[in-house]
Each structure stands twice: as C-alpha cells, then as structure tokens.
C-alpha cells in the first residue's frame, strides 16, 4: 500500500535526446495554446450536454398551460409561478417536513454511531478489531432489496409498519458501516501524539476522545451528517414498501406520484424537482470542501 | 476552488496514513466495546437479524398475504425456482454483469478523462468548468432520475426525441426497445457518477509531485511517456480501490433500474434492463412472492460477498499493520 505511491513509480529514462532548439520551443508554446482551446471545446460540449436536464427542468417549471404532457418546445411561452403555487397548496410542504424529519434524525444517529465506532477502530485495541470493519462492510452488502422483506415483517411485528419512526429506525440504525470506515480513516489521519499527550496528563479514553479527537473531526462529522441526510433523502425502494400512506412520504417518493409514466403532471413535477433540489444543491456547494475531503480521505489511501 | 483546496490534504493522505497508526496498549481493551456497543447492537437488530430472517424466509413459502404465521418450510424450492432453466436468472445475470462492467468502466473512464483535461496547466479557468461539471453530483438522485425518466420517454414529443427530430433523426422508443433502454440506463448512470470520479481523479493528479515531471523533462521524455510512466500509474493507484467498490455497488444498483425503466422492455418474468437486484425487488410486490425474492437476494449477496472477500484478500485493502 505504501510502496506504490510516492517512491515506487517508475520514471522511464530515455537516453541521449537532442537538446531542443529555440524555434521548437516557440512552436511548443503555440501548440499548448491550441491544446488548451481544444480542451475548452470538449469541456464546453460536455457541459452543455450534462446541464441540459437541469436547464430543461428549470424552464418547464415556469411553464404555464396544460400541466400534463410534454410540449414541443421547452422554452415557456408564458412565464408563470402557477406550478409552484399549486405545489405549495398540495401535499408538497408535508413531504418536505417528512424529509426533514427523516433526514435530520437519521443524520444524527449515523454520525453518533460512526464517530464512536470509528474512534474505537482507529485508536483502541480489542479482539475482533482487525476483521470487525470488514465484517460490518460485508454484512452491509446485503442488497436492500433482500433486507426489505425482513424489515417489513419486523416493523409489522412491532406495529411500526407505515410509520415514520419505523423508517427512522431502519435507516438510522441500519446503515453506518461505510460511515464507520470513513470516520476511522479520518481519525487515523489525526496525529497520534496529540492523544498520547492527553494520556500522559492522565486523561481517560473518553476525555481524550472528547477534548482532542472530537474537535478535530468536526468537519468530518458535518460531512457525515450531510451524507446521512442526502442518503435518506434519495432513498426510494425501501421507503415505498414500508410506507403506504402518502401523507407520510418523504419528498422524493411523494413527487414520484407526479412523474409516473402514464399519469404525468410534468410541469408540476418539474417545479417540485426544482424546489426539492435547490436546498441540496446549496448545501452541497457550501460544504463541498468538507464532503470531498470526507470522501476522498477515506477513498484515497494509496 | 474547494477541490483544489482540498487536494493537498488528499495528497497528504496518500502515504499509508491508516496502516501505520499503531493501536493503543492493551489497557484500553474493555472500554473499546463501550464505544462499539451502539453499532454492534444496531447491526445485530437491523442488519444481522433481518439477514437471518431473510435467509429463513428463503426456505419457506412465506407470503405477504399470509402475514404472520401461516407459512411452511419448503426446503430448496425457492432456490430451484431461481435457477430453473428457462427462468429469469441466467439472462438477467448476463445483463447484470455486462451492466456492472460497462457502467463502471465508462463512469470511471469519463471521470478520469475530464480530470485529465481539467488538469492541463494552461487551463486557468478550470474551476469554472469543474463547478459546472460537478452539478449532477450536487443534485438529489431521487428527483433527477425521475427527470431522466421524462427525458428518455418514448413519446415523440419527449425532450430528447424533440431534439432528435429537430436534427433530422427519427424519434426513439427509449423504453420499448432493448438497445435504447440499455443505453438510457448507462447514460443516466454515467451522468450521476462521473463527477465523483472526476473529483477523485483531479485530486490524485494534483497530488503528483512536480519534480517527477521535471526529472522526466530533463530526460527528454515526451508527452506519451510522461503520461504512461507518471500520470497513469498515479491515477491507477487512486482509482483501483474505487473500481472494485464501484463495481460492487453497481451490481447491487436496483434504484436506477426501478426508477428509470422498471426493467422495461420485457415480459412479466423479467425485462431487458432488469438486474438481479431489481428483479429481486420486483419479485416482492409485483409477483407477490417475498420468499422467492429472499432467495434471489441471497444469491446476489453471495456473489457480491465473494467478490468483496476476494478483492480484500487480493488488494489487502482492509489489512492493518499488525
């Protein structure tokens, strides 16, 4: 793992190459300019295609007229806020509330568990440490589609089927192995000397954790919370099976009732997609640095 | 801005940060389990118990209509159904593997390609492009996959078909024909996935020590040998561990199939875009057969788990410095 990063990369040496002349240098500069313009062209082409759906949805969300099917042009003839006001009169605000409730609860539970366990895996020595995380990660590879049968039965057994509490239990407690793994890697990157110093001062594990580790991993906590929130926000398969009451749907599942194939309220759906995406987009870009670091520190280990 | 800002950290993380940290002395033995108690208990209740329960159901004829106690042990019947000749398993397995391989290579490849473009030293405004290109990652999957469902719609007036007609092509029945439906799944999946790999790739590229290139320059290495001997090995090191997890994730990825095509086109037995995971999911309610679904799910689990264990052993990615 260590050897193939910095030191082990082979640098091929090609012997005896004629020194570059001045005129060659000139043309190399020109060629770089040309390269940069070619790259710009490719990037812009890619961006136009990639952002087409986003622009399209934004346009349609302000479109008046028949709410049902696609129309030939996606540039609205009349700009209107009708779609948005219709949305706010329906079930939409309730779905937003449900999503917030689910996402925030599950985010907190995930972060709490992942931090404690990540600390133990990173700093403490105990039996089962070596394969504990591997075991957690493998168990979590059960397809959710497999677990959902059992979830259904379990929630039914304790009369929590079709309740938001049941869903919070499943999502909050059911899925933090990846979080533990990322948190462990993050805590690994905090210098060991810091908590050694605390131990020398006579601090307990808990104290060392609370005063040394916790403040340093706060960026990761925020990142994990956001991941937890977005994970629940994006869940569809399990949610639709465990909830049957549209009043209890989170936003993404509720909005699906606008977009299904043969009964499409397309302009309404687009307005909902815009409203439902904006907060996530904003949070993502505000916290982007944390999120990227949180993921890549765990992912890139060399 | 942020990614380039974050990359030094990523660069610092490139040395084996995790593996060199030595665990604390044995006096901490017992308190470790206190820290682990919440996750152990929740894993027992919410992951291991359902797992065992599902395994058990896969040997019964349990049915959602029977609800609680009215079912019986049927032995390997469900597994026989799964592997029955003429059934859905083998064709769906074929597409699942193809989907996994293609989507992983395409997603990672496009991400890396964009990272390479963005990393060109002459490209001063790279952060503008990076920000625009990262947007699909920042948008919620659940809503945007439904947008893609609208875009890849069969109707002649659907957004994509309108464009095709405008440039003089025929509209495409996106979810009624096999090849277009499979293309749609791969394209939508690429859209959601490339920004992550682009970001990781860019971070890895910017962590390459400059002096390596300077040495290569002194040696008179050309563009190709710089790429082959410096850039590519570094990219590969950053990406290899991700390739495997991405492949495992995509093998399991029922969500994109269910929400985009629901397996269409196809028969009630299975569709051309169904993966094993989406087939298992559809078996629960559409076929009202959760115990068969459990058998499917368990087979999928065995495939993924062996994949993961082999990977962990081969790459030693989970090993700690002992």
Q: Which residue range forms the structural domain that includes residue A209?
A: 96-263+277-299
For the segment B219-240, the average pLDDT, to the nearest whole number, is: 83
Distances (CA, A) of B256 to A76, A189, A237, B279, B308: 29, 35, 10, 12, 22
For the segment B125-153, the average pLDDT, to the nearest whole number, is: 93
B69 or B245: which carries more pLDDT confidence? B245
Tell me whether residues A116 and B35 touch, CB distance under 8 A. yes
Kindly report the nearest CA distance between residue B210 and chain A, in angstroms. 12
What's the CATH number where B277 sits?
1.10.3720.10
Tell me whether residues A273 and B157 touch, CB distance under 8 A. no
Distance of CA B20 to the CA centre of its chain: 29
What tens digit of pLDDT does each residue of B273-305 get?
A: 999 989 988 888 788 888 888 898 888 888 888
| Whether the Cβ atoms of residue B208 and residue B124 lie closer than 8 Å to each other | no
**Which of A39, A149, A193 has the highest number of chain B CBs within 10 A, making it the mutation to test binding with B?**
A149
What tens digit of pLDDT does each residue of A2-26 get?
A: 334 444 444 444 444 455 555 555 6
Residue A63 inside a domain? The answer is no
User: Average pLDDT of chain B?
Assistant: 82
- Residue A291: what pLDDT? 79
Torsion of Cα atoms, A217 then A222 then A224 then A225, to 10°: 140
3-state secondary structure B9-63: HHHHHCCCHHHHCCCCCHHHHHHHHHHHHHHHHHHHHHHHHHHHHHHHHCCECCC
Residue B59 inside a domain? The answer is no
For the segment B191-197, the average pLDDT, to the nearest whole number, is: 94
**Neighbour tally for A44: CB within 10 Å:** 12
What is the number of H-type helices and E-type strands within chain B? 16, 0
Torsion of Cα atoms, B241 then B244 then B250 then B253, to 10°: -80
| CA B221/CA B206 separation, integer angstroms | 20
Residue A237 inside a domain? The answer is yes
What tens digit of pLDDT does each residue of A176-234 get?
A: 677 888 888 888 888 888 878 777 787 777 788 888 888 888 888 888 898 889 889 99
Residue B36 inside a domain? The answer is no
Which of B10, B51, B120 has the CB atom closest to A297's CB atom?
A: B10
Count of domains observed in chain A:
1
Q: How many CA atoms lie within 13 A of B164 on its CB side?
A: 17
| Residue (of B137, B13, B141) closest to A294 by Cα position | B13
Band (A141; pLDDT cuts 50, 70, 90): low
In eight-state DSSP terms, residue A210 is: I
Residue A18 inside a domain? The answer is no
- Residue A37: what pLDDT? 92
How many CB pairs lie under 8 A apart between chains A and B? 375
Cβ-Cβ contacts under 8 Å, B313 against chain A = none
Query: Above 60 in pLDDT, residue A68?
Result: no
Residue A192 inside a domain? The answer is yes
What tens digit of pLDDT does each residue of B245-270 get?
A: 788 889 888 899 999 998 888 887 88
Query: Above 80 in pLDDT, residue B316?
Result: no
Query: Above 90 in pLDDT, residue A278?
Result: yes
Kindly report the nearest CA distance between residue A248 and chain B, in angstroms. 17
User: Average pLDDT of chain A?
Assistant: 80
What is chain A's Cα-based Rg?
A: 26
| CA B278/CA B172 separation, integer angstroms | 24
Q: Which residue range forms the structural domain that includes residue B101?
A: 2-10+80-315
| CA A287/CA A281 separation, integer angstroms | 10
| Whether the Cβ atoms of residue A104 and residue B282 lie closer than 8 Å to each other | no
**Helix residue ranges per DSSP H, A9-78:** 22-61
Count of domains observed in chain B:
1
Tell me whether residues B18 and A141 touch, CB distance under 8 A. no
- Residue B10: what pLDDT? 35
What's the CATH number where A148 sits?
1.10.3720.10
Residue B64 inside a domain? The answer is no
């Amino acid at each position: 793992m260590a050897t193939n990063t910095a030191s082990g990369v082979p640098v091929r040496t090609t012997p005896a190459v004629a020194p570059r002349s001045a005129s060659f240098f000139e043309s190399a500069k020109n060629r770089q300019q040309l390269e940069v313009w070619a790259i710009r062209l490719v990037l812009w082409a890619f961006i136009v295609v990639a952002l087409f759906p986003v622009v399209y949805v934004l346009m349609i969300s302000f479109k008046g007229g028949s709410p049902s099917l696609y129309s030939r042009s996606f540039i609205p003839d009349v700009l209107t806020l009708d779609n948005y006001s219709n949305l706010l009169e329906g079930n939409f605000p309730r779905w937003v509330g449900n999503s917030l409730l689910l996402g925030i609860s599950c985010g907190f539970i995930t972060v709490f568990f992942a931090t404690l366990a990540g600390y133990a895996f990173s700093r403490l020595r105990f039996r089962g440490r070596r394969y504990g995380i591997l075991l957690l990660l493998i168990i979590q590879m059960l397809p959710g589609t497999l677990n959902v049968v059992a979830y259904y039965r379990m929630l039914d057994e304790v009369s929590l089927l079709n309740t938001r509490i049941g869903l919070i239990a499943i999502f909050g407690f059911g899925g933090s192995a990846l979080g533990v793994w990322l948190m462990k890697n993050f805590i690994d990157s905090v210098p060991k000397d810091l908590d050694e110093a605390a131990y020398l001062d006579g601090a307990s594990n808990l104290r060392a954790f609370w005063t040394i580790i916790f403040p340093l991993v706060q960026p990761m906590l925020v990142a994990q919370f956001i991941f937890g929130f977005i994970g629940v926000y994006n869940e569809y398969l399990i949610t639709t099976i465990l909830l049957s009451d549209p009043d209890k749907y989170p936003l993404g599942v509720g909005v699906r009732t606008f977009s299904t194939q043969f009964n499409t309220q397309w302009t309404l759906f687009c307005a909902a997609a815009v409203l439902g995406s904006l907060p996530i987009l904003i949070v993502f870009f505000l916290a982007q640095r944390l999120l990227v670091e949180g993921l890549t520190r765990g992912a890139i280990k060399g | 801005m942020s990614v380039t800002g974050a990359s030094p950290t990523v660069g610092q993380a490139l040395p084996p940060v995790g593996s060199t940290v030595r665990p604390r002395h044995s006096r901490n033995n017992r308190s470790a389990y206190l820290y682990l108690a919440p996750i152990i208990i929740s894993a027992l209740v919410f992951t291991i118990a359902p797992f065992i329960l599902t395994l058990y159901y896969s040997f019964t004829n349990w049915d959602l209509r029977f609800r609680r106690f009215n079912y019986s042990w049927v032995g390997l019947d469900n597994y026989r159904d799964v592997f029955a000749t003429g059934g859905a398993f083998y064709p769906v397995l074929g597409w699942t593997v193809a989907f996994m391989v293609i989507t992983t290579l395409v997603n990672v490849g496009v991400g890396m390609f964009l990272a390479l473009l963005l990393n060109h030293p002459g490209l001063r405004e790279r952060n503008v492009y990076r920000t625009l290109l990262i947007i699909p990652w920042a948008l919620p999957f659940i809503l945007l996959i439904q947008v893609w469902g609208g875009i890849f719609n069969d109707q002649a007036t659907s957004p994509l078909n309108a464009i095709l007609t405008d440039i003089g092509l025929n509209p495409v029945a996106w979810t009624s024909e096999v090849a277009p439906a499979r293309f749609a799944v791969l394209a939508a999946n690429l859209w959601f996935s490339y920004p992550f790999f682009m970001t990781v790739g860019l971070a890895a590229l910017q962590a390459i020590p400059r002096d390596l290139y300077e040495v290569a320059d002194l040696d008179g290495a050309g563009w190709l040998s710089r790429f082959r001997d410096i850039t590519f090995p570094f990219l590969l090191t950053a990406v290899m561990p991700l390739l495997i997890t991405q492949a495992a994730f995509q093998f399991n990825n029922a969500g994109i199939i269910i929400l985009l095509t629901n397996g269409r086109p196809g028969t009630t037995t299975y569709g051309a875009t169904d993966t094993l995971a989406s087939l298992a999911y559809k078996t629960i309610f559409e076929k009202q057969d959760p115990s068969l679904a459990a058998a499917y799910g368990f087979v999928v689990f065995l495939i993924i788990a062996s994949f993961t264990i082999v990977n962990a052993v081969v790459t030693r990615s989970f090993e700690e410095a002992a």
